[in-house]
Amino acid sequence: MFFGVSLKTSAESSAQESDRRPNFLVIIADDLGFSDPGCYGGEIATPNLDALAAGGLRFTQFYNTARCWPTRSALMTGYYPQQIRRDSMPGAPKGFGGRGVRPQWAQTIGQYLQMAGYRTYHSGKWHIDGKPTENGFDRSDEATRGPGFFDTNKRGERDPDFYRTVATAQHAIDCLKEHSEDFAGQPFFHYLAFHAPHFPLHALPEDIQRYEGRYDDGWDHLRNQRYQRQRALGFSVGNLSAMEPDVGPPYAFPDQIELLGPGEVNRPLPWDELTSQQQRFQAMKMAIHAAMVDRMDREIGRVLDQLRAMDSYDNTIVMFLSDNGASAEMMVRGDGHDPDAAPGSAATYLCLGPGFSSAANTPFRRHKTWVHEGGISTPFIVHWPAGLEAQNEFRSAVAHVVDIAPTVLDLAGVQRPDFPGAPPMTGKSLRPLLSKDGDSLHDEIWFCHEANRALRQGDWKIVHSDKGRPFPYRMVETGDSNESNWALYNLANDRAEQQDLADTYPAKVQALSERWYQLRDQFLADSSTEIANDAKP
């Protein structure tokens, strides 16, 4: 049930009517694990996210695309990234992927809302083709000073006070202050895209201090703790997956990992098999990861305080998610790594790695880039005091990041312009699920990233994956629609993906794999669809 808001059926409205339309704050974290927030079972202090969940909804089967730039393009447009050339797939021509350019008809939420009278703002990471201000945003700032979270060491006069997460939130606050002063008669859409807790693991010393020693018992212990907390919170997410000690980072950089010293380990081995030096090193890395999440939550709190100060909190729809699961990647980039510098400082370049990444993704299997549940499952919180009757409720319906764009347009009362010949949005509005839990929005959800592929159809899911891929990154082409290396899981009782049923139900595997390729062919056709120049809205 929706209170206090007139949801319009047309983008055309008078200034007085537009005042009553909801505002939007869409917050996306980078490489946050499913269980990192406290309200999803984590021990990290996230009181602001916890409060949003307590006053709103938590989704337990909400999916992303397993990687940063594909998820962001899907969020902004309502299409699978492969439909709009923003991620590759078998058979795709050149021009797909992180450098792909969207078709003309794949506009952003910002463009639609801007045309409908919304003020639009972007703060933080973009990672979509084009510039934000050329794609529907009135103001934008990526808050970038270097390859990490601090001002780059290569700058002659470094700013000792710069920290990217704080700067991103401050830009959002500045935009909201400007909006309150100069554009109070218009609703707003703010896309707040934090870089945290993506590698390198950089955190403020006072934030790290709060978590020093917290993870000394290791990733096995932490996973069990988080899983038990999830059960106590009432999550229905199945059993805890087994660790995979033979699965390391998705890309091999042995020379770079060697630079990190004898404390580093690139496999999630049993904790008691690590040396004491390795245990200390790994525990410190997790402490820095936690500090980054903690700081992000504090900065979200500052943004929410600004909404309250401008009397916009109640009628702002807040959505929070992560672009993919926690990352097992390990490398040294940017300004390099100084092993003698304080861990988490600007002179270091640390990555979480597969051990504590597995804990961050509790209770699911695998990590970012893989399309097992650990790589594609995200926390998803929706909060809207003026429009949601439900509070502190779970939603188990299956949904996907492509659903965010049509949901925003629906709740804003904005009709997407017609692009003759272009495919309709893949995403669907979440509006029915805001009132009560119900049927899933999609009969099937398709996944593809690099060598990893999956299709979920009802509770059945097939997965094909590659454990490790050499540098340079490449798409591994294997097999055809009859390939025999698909695994099959029934997620109704096995979201941990532990019981491969492919040999038991070969006909199901065959049908689902053929459907995967049918959708691949459809998306290839969609991606090549062109419209006349005069069809632009």
CA atoms within 13 A on the CB side of 527: 26
Alpha helices in 339-462 (DSSP H): 353-360, 373-376, 404-412, 431-435
User: What distance in Å separates the CA atoms of residue 462 and residue 68, rounded to the nearest whole number?
Assistant: 22
* Locus of tokens 């899983």: 227
Dig out the tokens for 152 from the structure: 């780059």
Write down the catalytic residue from 39, 122, 127, 171. Answer: 127
User: What distance in Å separates the CA atoms of residue 318 and residue 148, rounded to the nearest whole number?
Assistant: 27
Q: Do residues 150 and 346 lie in contact, with contact meaning Cβ atoms separated by under 8 Å?
A: yes
CA atoms within 13 A on the CB side of 493: 3
Cα–chain-centroid distance for residue 79? 15
Q: Tell me if the bond preceding 132 is cis, omega within 30° of 0.
A: no
Q: Which one-letter DSSP state was computed for residue 471? A: S
Burial group, residue 398, by CB count within 10 angstroms (0-12, 13-18, 19+) = buried
Q: Which one-letter DSSP state was computed for residue 150? A: B
If DSSP codes are grouped into helix, strand and coil, which group holds residue 28? strand
Residue 477: partners with Cβ closer than 8 Å, 6 or more residues away: 90
Write down the catalytic residue from 68, 175, 351, 448. Answer: 68
User: What distance in Å separates the CA atoms of residue 507 and residue 193, rounded to the nearest whole number?
Assistant: 43
Q: Which one-letter DSSP state was computed for residue 63? A: E
**171 catalytically annotated:** no
If DSSP codes are grouped into helix, strand and coil, which group holds residue 26? strand
Neighbour count for residue 155 (Cβ, 10 Å): 12
User: What distance in Å separates the CA atoms of residue 11 and residue 414, rounded to the nearest whole number?
Assistant: 4
**68 catalytically annotated:** yes
Q: Do residues 240 and 223 lie in contact, with contact meaning Cβ atoms separated by under 8 Å?
A: yes
Active site residues: 68, 127
